[in-house]
């Protein structure tokens, strides 16, 4: 009897591991390919660049942008709906975060304009985060052929494991997005520091040259005061 109980317990454990594995695989497949995107590009002086993002109703589209290099560190920003309506308009901003709730399905236009600058090009980073697109993809049909186990056979249910996997996936995705934004902040701060370092070094060298010229001029003037070339008759 003890051997039989051991075999049944072993089979129950293997069945539980199998169900958990199938749940994990199904959860990874149901996540699909992330619709979030990020991009860093160079915006020439006097030019504008537009990008398109497809969105559907009953969702949210979050757009975050930063100017990480270039004189002035500012651009004009616009979000245009599929019908041509301007949803967001910003003028000469260095960064911004906007959440748009699409009221219609289609391609939304995201534009960056550097037309006000004639000589300086800008490096721009932006990220698009899509949430709530399509709702629950799989539901109960995510795991075909896998029946809900009895409570006495497996402690954790498929629903609990699925929710845990989805929560973990969302948190990891959010962590990746935050790390990307922090890298953009770090790049912008580094460019500012390098630009300020060049300015400080240039004006420091100019100040030293001016001080040297003033010192040499003073020495020359004082020597000229004591340089008497008149003849003395004896």
* pLDDT tens-digit readout, 141-177: 444 444 545 554 455 577 777 788 888 877 887 787 7
Contact by Cβ (8 Å): 43, 126: no
The mean per-residue pLDDT over the stretch 202-209 comes to 93
Task: Name the pLDDT band for 234 (thresholds 50, 70, 90).
Answer: low
Helix 158-225, helix 2-31: angle, nearest 10: 50
Cβ count near 15 (within 10 Å): 13
Does 196 or 10 have the greater pLDDT score? 196
Task: Name the pLDDT band for 232 (thresholds 50, 70, 90).
Answer: low
Rounded to whole angstroms, what are the CA distances from 199 to 153, 194, 196, 205, 210? Answer: 71, 9, 5, 10, 16
- Lowest model confidence (mean pLDDT) among 79-83, 86-90, 189-193, 227-231: 227-231
Tell me how many helices (H) and strands (E) the chain has: 2, 8
Q: How far apart are CA 47 and CA 16, in angstroms?
A: 60
Cβ count near 158 (within 10 Å): 21
The mean per-residue pLDDT over the stretch 167-190 comes to 78
Contact by Cβ (8 Å): 165, 172: no
Contact by Cβ (8 Å): 52, 80: no
What domains are there in the chain, each with its CATH number?
34-133+153-188 (2.60.120.380)
* pLDDT tens-digit readout, 9-41: 444 444 344 444 444 444 444 444 456 788 889
* pLDDT tens-digit readout, 93-108: 988 999 999 888 899 9
The whole-chain average pLDDT of the chain stands at 76
Task: Name the pLDDT band for 58 (thresholds 50, 70, 90).
Answer: confident
The mean per-residue pLDDT over the stretch 57-62 comes to 87
- Tell me which residue has tokens 């020597």: 223
Task: Provide the pLDDT for residue 143.
Answer: 46
Task: Provide the pLDDT for residue 47.
Answer: 93
């Amino acid at each position: 009897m003890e051997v039989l109980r051991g075999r049944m317990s072993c089979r129950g454990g293997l069945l539980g591991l199998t169900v958990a594995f199938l749940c994990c695989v199904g959860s990874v497949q149901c996540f699909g390919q992330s619709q979030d995107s990020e991009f860093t590009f160079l915006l020439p002086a006097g030019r504008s660049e537009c990008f398109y993002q497809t969105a559907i109703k009953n969702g949210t589209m979050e757009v975050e942008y930063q100017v990480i290099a270039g004189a002035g560190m500012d651009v004009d920003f616009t979000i245009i709906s599929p019908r041509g309506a301007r949803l967001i308009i910003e003028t000469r901003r260095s960064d911004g975060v906007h959440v748009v709730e699409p009221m219609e399905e289609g391609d939304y236009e995201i534009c960056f304009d550097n037309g006000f600058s004639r000589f300086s090009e800008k490096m721009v980073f932006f990220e698009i985060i899509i949430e709530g697109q399509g709702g629950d993809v799989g539901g109960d049909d995510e795991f075909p052929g896998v029946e809900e186990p009895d409570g006495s056979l497996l402690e954790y249910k498929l629903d609990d494991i699925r929710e845990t996997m989805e929560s973990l996936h969302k948190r990891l995705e959010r962590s990746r997005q935050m790390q990307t934004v922090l890298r953009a902040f770090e790049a912008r701060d580094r460019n500012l520091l390098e630009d300020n370092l060049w300015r400080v070094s240039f004006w420091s060298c100019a100040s030293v040259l001016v001080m040297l010229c003033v010192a040499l001029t003073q020495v020359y003037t004082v020597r000229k005061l004591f340089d008497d070339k008149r003849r003395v008759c004896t």
